[in-house]
Chains A and B, each alone.
Chain A
Amino acid sequence: MRRLVRCFSVLLTGALVLCGCKGGSQSETGNTFKIGVITSLTGPAAAFGQAHKNGYTVALNDLNAKGGVMGKKIELVYYDDQSRPDQAVQGVSKLVDQDHVPIILGAYSSENTRAIVPAVTQKQVPLLMPTATADNVVETGSPWAFRICAGSGAYATTTIEFLKAMNAPKSVAIVYENTNFGQANGQAMDKAAKANGFDVVDTEVYQASSPDYKSLLQRVKAKNPAVIYFASYLLDASTLMRQAAQVNLNPEFYTSAGTGFAAAEFPTKDKGAGPYAEYTFSVSQWLPTAQWKGSKEFDEAFLKLTGAHPAYHAMEAYASLLTAVAAINKANSAQPAAIRDALKAIDLPDTPFGPVKFDDRGQNHHPVLITQILEGQYKVVYPADAAETKPVIPTPPWNKRQGL
């Protein structure tokens, strides 16, 4: 026992010394302007955290090449929340108390973002949310939270508008994971569908990262819906679509609340569902083919940095940093309150992500697109003025498909 205690005390002392060193070196960098970033660099959401980081990196290089902000080079201080909400909350304390950042960008998931809204409100530091789609992140009444992306409500209503435009039969099944993201999107669809005369024939909630969803999909199949709406992250999106083929589930429309179904990896064979992703519809916030000024340049810079084309998650991170820096320039101050006020008043008519302007709730009214995967590529099919091609409907049944 005594040995154990001694062991512990040695470890503890070591840890304290290490912490001390770290704290000291970080507070000494006076000639950079620090901006805090919380995202999921490890854990199940790491693919999206990496997309965030790449988007931020492209923005950082652009901005620093143009001279940074307030005469200083911009430095991003990352905090990895390990895809866990409790860690994200710790990130706020660490970034504000130790690194003294005047603004935070993050987190990745709705779950983690919702968790940090009270923390930034208490610390009185503005938070710019790039990717959280659950609408409750802007419904807390906090004057410190701003969201650049469209939310779950807009996802659901756009999907329903699309289905109506396609004359889809009005029966829908909703399948979502039991997290903040899943619940928000599932419930938003339930509301939007019912408001538009759709019959919600089945609602399935599932536990993320399970190896087997066949029973769940059988339940859906028994209700025979014409439309399925998924709210899933990437790993489950792939499992769900493969197993949908196994149970021979054939709705006319596979629709989804983006995320897993909109990830760049999803239609690929190595990291996603490959041919099983074909014909699925998804909402999208942005594509490399978007007409906004700078979209193409971002796509090229991202391709050069990573060797792959970006999905909208990376663009949202990029646009967030752009917006944050514009607000800091406008405030011409490193005070959190001044930056917050600048964000409230900001009006950027043409960023590569479209216009950015926040309403009273801190929400940017960003348009939502509908895409379909055709021959392994995301193609915009709705709204009509942005459509690249006509959608393939109804979805061909599994036994009529080639190359599976």
Chain B
Amino acid sequence: MDLYAALQAVINGVLTGALYALVGMGLALIFGVMRIVNFAHGAFMMLGMYATYVLFTHTNISPYLLFMVAGILLFALGYLIYFGLLRPIHGQSDFMQILLTLGIGLICTDGVLLIFGADYHQINIPLLGKNIHLGEHIVVNAPWVVSFVIAVAVALGLYLFVMRTMIGRAARAIAQNRYAAPLMGINVFRVQAISFAVGIAAAGIAGGLLLPVFYIYPQVGDQFTLKAFVMVVLGGMESIVGAALAGLVLGVVESLTSLYWGNEWALAVDFVIFLLVLSLKPSGIFGRQKA
């Protein structure tokens, strides 16, 4: 295995990792910052994929524009779900949230199953056949590059939202002390609703971006829910930058594992890293040690 193969694997890993990162950042905001245990995260990503798919088949507009519509739809859905379902169980045990979000996930998956059937679908865009040659040895598939660029832009936007906007600051304030925050004039429910919706929109956008190079079926999101939790923990729970880096790391590690040990080990290595980090550095690779 020469150096070019390794370099190629790293590039492929980064391209996949950027999409992981977006999914992970969404969950970092919801679970890491807002402490809402969201087991429906992958299901929302799946909804983003289906939304993009339906819009694409009806309008024939490029999925690289339609992902925005999917994001907006998912934002609205997230907002409604927060006020309709999550707020009523506010303050109750995490166990209730787990049951509720698991239930929401099941309803999404089975709802899609009822409407679209269990059959899988894929879209065909001309870009799919385009490969970009970087030098003699490195090849990248164009749709992955486009997805990567958009994912990075959205991730940057998400970062600015959390770090620079009033709502982002308020969300972090709530995370620091959920009792003091309302005393400072923060509307906790509104801030949480918006943050939850933004996190879900991020998952939906990642889904929309993955659609052109993948395929969809109702359970497609399931594998991403677990991955997203791994990223949030690796990233140090409260840090959305940490989750994003963890996403990139997972992408590259999977790709390199696949190259050197074989594809069957890729998932196993993910979880070995997860267990090691949990036991050796529970605050996450990129997390700060708490005093």
Contacts and interface: CB of A to CB of B under 8 A. Distances in A.
Contact of A206 (B124, B219, B263): B263
Nearest to A270: B124
A269 B263 CA distance: 27
Interface string B1-28: 1100100110010001000000000000
A90 interface: no
Interface residues of B, number: 40
Nearest to B123: A270
Interface string A200-242: 0000111101111111101100100000000000010011001
Contacts of A209: 220, 223
Given A212-B255, A218-B259, A238-B215, A207 B267 contact: yes
A205 B264 contact: yes
Interface stretch (A18-26, A28-36, A40-48, A106-114): A40-48
Given A211-B213, A215-B12, A247 B139 contact: yes
B122 interface: yes
B258 A215 contact: yes
B226 interface: no
Contacts of A270: 122, 124
B214 A211 contact: yes
B120 interface: yes
B131 interface: yes
A86 B106 CA distance: 19
A206 to B, nearest CB: 4
A210 B266 contact: yes
Given A44-B217, A210-B266, A222 B129 contact: no
Given A42-B118, A43-B219, A218-B8, A246 B131 contact: yes
Interface string A268-295: 0111001000000000000000000000
Given A43-B219, A235-B215, A216 B120 contact: no
Interface string A46-72: 110110000000000000000000000
A270 B121 CA distance: 8
A42 B1 contact: no
B16 A212 contact: yes
A271 B53 CA distance: 13
Nearest to A80: B118
Given A46-B118, A212-B16, 4 more contacts: A210-B263, A215-B255, A218-B9, A246-B141
Those 7 A-B pairs whose CB atoms lie nearest each other, nearest first: A46-B118, A215-B258, A42-B118, A206-B263, A215-B259, A205-B264, A216-B263
Interface of A: 4, 41-44, 46-47, 49-50, 178, 204-207, 209-216, 218-219, 222, 235, 238-239, 242-243, 245-248, 269-271, 274, 404
